[in-house]
């Protein structure tokens, strides 16, 4: 074999099931070989990874990069720079930009904005009440997944009625693309919020009162029924409650192709943090009780919750800091802090490094069609790598984040375990905790590698398209 471009020497290579000391040879953007230390041919360049861990880069299926339309919050350059610094090598970007990604023309505009990306990316198309006729165009145009906002959140996109959702599921199901759900039922929250406002509740905890766990669980159960009926693949984003785990488990047991994700805030924060953090902690769905966090931790470990995503949702300090809770924008940046926060949990013994790799890289790759090209450190895969120093301690400082969103509930948190180099298809995008600015524009859309097995469709003869084709009985 001809010599590699780069040899990563002596690190501990980690997968979801094993870890071992090895050298990793990288050539032409791919992992050429993984072998015993000293066994691989010499390379043009070497990286000494002795004492470090070599992980597949994180694959984050839930980021909001805000471009076009809200670039004072973030854009594709700052968002993907933050990802590079955080050891994240692929992101899937959400459609609640302005305009939203709801048609082919808007997909093309987003692809143009994404040309400055440091890391690889997927693009979500929107499934809403008013774009059912655009869904096929988005599929043919190369979206990587769909997003359905069952409840209102930032961007105030009208959430689809159950009727529109079902037709959307019918259209998307044959493509096999996964539909990620913001699973909170709009009508319940709108009703409760209006009653809370009328009663004079403006405090941070009123945010939980407007969106109790039943709001999420009802949405998960309803979406699972539509997924089961059609055969559409779905993913429950940002699982925040113990109650949602019931309908998620039930649907999995019935054979529905449904997956679930959660975010660091639901694992690491709870209602006792509202007094300290005020409106900064406002996120949809809300951070809930300590018992919810405990249940989500257990569900990650037993596989009910499949993966960790970040819901990276940056806003400006003015937008986040409000006396009236209803006026504060929801969400905070996460793509840069996810890996250090979770590695810190590894350092504390709450999680193994192998589990972490399963949740952050393997499962997202498998569930969103990027496996076996991404999500593993093995010959033939993309050289998407986070080299991690588990002995390094840093303090999270919002002001130092590469994201434009400089407000985080994790301000001042000390974390042990940090990605010190990030490679995307063999190229350094972060090196020694510094962004490699020449790598701007290296990222590309993952369309060409996305391969989902053919979906199993149900009730195809009863889809709206099918019944409308059938002649009227005489
Ligand atoms: C997200 C945002 O700001 O775009 N906010 C949030 O609170 N999670 C939207 C979303 O994912 O719900
Ligand atoms: Zn959401």
Kindly write down the DSSP assignment for every residue of 119-144, as one continuous string. SEEEEEEE--TT-GGGHHHHHHHT-S
CATH of the domain at 95: 3.20.20.140
Report how far residue 284's alpha carbon sits from residue 62's, in angstroms, rounded to the nearest whole number. Answer: 13
Contact between 219 and 195 under an 8 Å Cβ cutoff? The reply is no
Measured in Å, residue 100 CA sits from the centre of ligand 2 at 14
Task: Check whether residue 26 and residue 84 sit in a common domain.
Answer: no
In a domain, 421, yes or no: no
Give the number of the ligand closest to the Cα of residue 155.
Answer: 1
Give the model confidence (pLDDT) of 242-259 as tens digits.
999 999 999 999 999 999
DSSP string for residues in 391-426? EEEEE--GGG-SSS----TTTT-EEEEEEEEEEETT
What mean pLDDT do residues 415-419 have? 98
Report how far residue 303's alpha carbon sits from residue 109's, in angstroms, rounded to the nearest whole number. Answer: 37
> Given ligand 1 and candidates 153, 180, 189, 319, which is best to mutate, with the most ligand atoms within 8 Å of its CB?
153
**Nearest 5 degrees, angle CA 343-CA 207-CA 333?**
35
Burial of residue 282 (CB within 10 Å: 0-12, 13-18, 19+) is buried
Task: Please report which confidence band the pLDDT of residue 1 belongs to, taking 50, 70 and 90 as the band edges.
Answer: low
Give the number of the ligand closest to the Cα of residue 73.
Answer: 1
CATH of the domain at 36: 2.30.40.10
Which secondary-structure segment (H or E) carries 319? helix 317-320
Give the pLDDT confidence score for residue 158 in this predicted structure.
Answer: 87
Task: Check whether residue 267 and residue 131 sit in a common domain.
Answer: yes
Give the model confidence (pLDDT) of 74-123 as tens digits.
999 999 999 999 999 999 999 999 999 999 999 999 999 999 999 999 99
Question: Domain boundary residue among 51, 66, 84?
Answer: 51
Give the model confidence (pLDDT) of 179-222 as tens digits.
999 999 999 999 999 999 999 999 999 999 999 999 999 999 99
Task: Check whether residue 24 and residue 165 sit in a common domain.
Answer: no
In a domain, 132, yes or no: yes
Measured in Å, residue 307 CA sits from the centre of ligand 2 at 15
Please state whether the peptide bond connecting residue 94 to the residue before it is cis, i.e. omega within 30 degrees of 0. Answer: no
Q: Is residue 151 predicted with pLDDT exceeding 80?
A: yes
Report how far residue 445's alpha carbon sits from residue 464's, in angstroms, rounded to the nearest whole number. Answer: 32
Ligand 1 first shell, C-beta below 6 A? 64, 96, 153-154, 182, 283-284, 311, 313, 330-331
> Given ligand 1 and candidates 146, 330, 404, 409, which is best to mutate, with the most ligand atoms within 8 Å of its CB?
330
Task: Check whether residue 209 and residue 119 sit in a common domain.
Answer: yes
DSSP 43: -
Report how far residue 112's alpha carbon sits from residue 331's, in angstroms, rounded to the nearest whole number. Answer: 26
Task: Please report which confidence band the pLDDT of residue 134 belongs to, taking 50, 70 and 90 as the band edges.
Answer: very high
What mean pLDDT do residues 52-68 have? 99
In a domain, 465, yes or no: no
pTM over 0.95: yes
Report how far residue 307's alpha carbon sits from residue 309's, in angstroms, rounded to the nearest whole number. Answer: 7
Contact between 144 and 180 under an 8 Å Cβ cutoff? The reply is no
Report how far residue 99's alpha carbon sits from residue 106's, in angstroms, rounded to the nearest whole number. Answer: 7
Task: Check whether residue 264 and residue 295 sit in a common domain.
Answer: yes
Name the least confident of 219-233, 416-430, 460-474.
460-474
Q: Is residue 237 predicted with pLDDT exceeding 70?
A: yes
- How many structural domains are present in the chain? 2
Task: Check whether residue 177 and residue 325 sit in a common domain.
Answer: yes
What mean pLDDT do residues 350-354 have? 98
Count of other CB atoms within 10 angstroms of residue 459: 13
List Cβ neighbours of 432 (8 Å cut-off, separation of 6 or more).
420, 421
Measured in Å, residue 417 CA sits from the centre of ligand 2 at 28
What mean pLDDT do residues 391-414 have? 98
Q: What are phi and psi of 197, to 5 degrees?
A: -65, -45
DSSP string for residues in 283-315? -SSPP--HHHHHHHHHHHHTTSS-EE---B---
State what percent of residues in the chain have pLDDT above 70: 100
Give the pLDDT confidence score for residue 471 in this predicted structure.
Answer: 87
In a domain, 100, yes or no: yes
Contact between 99 and 375 under an 8 Å Cβ cutoff? The reply is no
Long-range pairs of 321-329 with CB within 8 A, sequence gap ≥ 24: 321/278, 321/279, 321/280, 321/407, 322/279, 323/202, 323/279, 324/202, 325/202, 325/203, 325/204, 325/206, 325/207, 325/279, 325/282, 326/193, 326/197, 326/202, 326/206, 328/279, 328/280, 328/282, 329/154, 329/282
Q: Is residue 162 predicted with pLDDT exceeding 70?
A: yes
Task: Please report which confidence band the pLDDT of residue 155 belongs to, taking 50, 70 and 90 as the band edges.
Answer: confident
List Cβ neighbours of 226 (8 Å cut-off, separation of 6 or more).
162, 165, 166, 169, 232
In a domain, 436, yes or no: no
User: Which residue puts its alpha carbon closest to atom 11 of ligand 1?
Assistant: 311
Task: Check whether residue 31 and residue 107 sit in a common domain.
Answer: no
DSSP string for residues in 78-101? HHHHHHHHTTEEEEEE-S-SSS-S
Measured in Å, residue 428 CA sits from the centre of ligand 2 at 31
Give the number of the ligand closest to the Cα of residue 95.
Answer: 1
Domain, as residue range, for 45:
6-51
In a domain, 426, yes or no: no
Task: Check whether residue 228 and residue 258 sit in a common domain.
Answer: yes
Report how far residue 87's alpha carbon sits from residue 464's, in angstroms, rounded to the nearest whole number. Answer: 44
Report how far residue 146's alpha carbon sits from residue 417's, in angstroms, rounded to the nearest whole number. Answer: 33
In a domain, 161, yes or no: yes
Measured in Å, residue 154 CA sits from the centre of ligand 1 at 5
Task: Check whether residue 75 and residue 190 sit in a common domain.
Answer: yes
Contact between 281 and 287 under an 8 Å Cβ cutoff? The reply is yes
Task: Check whether residue 36 and residue 121 sit in a common domain.
Answer: no
Closest CA to 2 of 22, 27, 38: 27
Please state whether the peptide bond connecting residue 68 to the residue before it is cis, i.e. omega within 30 degrees of 0. Answer: yes
In a domain, 473, yes or no: no
Report how far residue 394's alpha carbon sits from residue 411's, in angstroms, rounded to the nearest whole number. Answer: 12
Task: Check whether residue 62 and residue 162 sit in a common domain.
Answer: yes
Task: Check whether residue 29 and residue 124 sit in a common domain.
Answer: no
Instruction: Measure the CA dihedral 403/180/215/129, to 10°.
Output: 100
Q: Is residue 30 predicted with pLDDT exceeding 90?
A: yes
């Amino acid at each position: 074999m001809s010599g590699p471009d780069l040899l990563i020497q002596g690190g501990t290579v980690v997968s979801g099931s094993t870890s071992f000391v090895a050298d990793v040879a990288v050539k032409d953007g791919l992992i050429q070989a993984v072998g015993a230390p000293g066994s691989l041919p010499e390379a043009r360049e070497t990286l000494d990874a002795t004492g470090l861990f070599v992980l597949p880069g994180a694959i984050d299926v839930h980021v909001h990069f805000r471009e076009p339309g809200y670039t004072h919050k973030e854009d594709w350059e700052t968002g993907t720079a933050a990802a590079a610094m955080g050891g994240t090598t692929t992101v899937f970007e959400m459609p609640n930009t302005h305009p939203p990604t709801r048609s082919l023309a808007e997909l093309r505009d987003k692809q143009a904005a994404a040309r400055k990306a440091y890391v690889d990316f997927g693009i979500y198309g929107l499934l809403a009440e008013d774009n059912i006729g655009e869904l096929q165009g988005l599929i043919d145009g190369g979206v990587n997944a769909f997003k359905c906002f069952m409840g209102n959140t930032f961007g105030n996109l009208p959430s689809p009625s159950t009727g529109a959702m079902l037709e959307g599921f019918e259209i998307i199901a044959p493509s096999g693309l996964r539909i990620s759900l913001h699973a909170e039922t709009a009508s319940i929250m709108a009703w409760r919020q209006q009653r809370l406002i009328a009663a004079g509740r403006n405090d941070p905890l009123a945010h939980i009162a407007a969106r109790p766990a039943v709001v999420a669980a009802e949405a998960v159960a309803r979406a699972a029924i539509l997924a089961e009926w059609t055969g559409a693949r779905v993913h429950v984003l940002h699982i925040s409650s113990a109650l949602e785990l019931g309908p998620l488990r039930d649907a999995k047991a019935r054979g529905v192709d449904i997956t679930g994700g959660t975010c660091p805030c639901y694992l690491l924060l709870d209602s006792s943090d509202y007094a300290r953090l005020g409106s900064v902690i406002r996120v949809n769905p809300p951070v809930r009780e300590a018992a919810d966090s405990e249940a989500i931790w257990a569900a990650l470990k037993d596989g009910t919750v499949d993966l960790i995503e970040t819901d990276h949702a940056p806003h400006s300090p003015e937008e986040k800091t409000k006396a009236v809770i209803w006026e504060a924008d929801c969400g905070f940046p996460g793509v840069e802090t996810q890996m250090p926060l979770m590695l810190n949990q590894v350092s504390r013994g709450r999680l193994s490094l192998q589990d972490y790799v399963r949740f952050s890289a393997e499962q997202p790759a498998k569930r969103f069609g990027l496996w076996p090209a991404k999500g593993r450190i093995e010959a033939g895969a993309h050289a998407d790598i986070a080299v991690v120093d588990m002995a390094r301690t840093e303090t999270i400082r919002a002001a130092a984040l590469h994201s434009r969103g400089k407000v985080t509930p994790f301000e001042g948190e000390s974390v042990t375990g940090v990605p010190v180099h990030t490679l995307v298809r063999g190229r350094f995008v972060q090196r020694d905790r510094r962004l490699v600015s020449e790598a701007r524009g290296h990222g590309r859309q993952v369309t060409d590698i996305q391969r989902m097995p053919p979906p199993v469709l149900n009730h195809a003869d009863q889809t709206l398209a099918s019944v409308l084709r059938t002649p009227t009985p005489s």
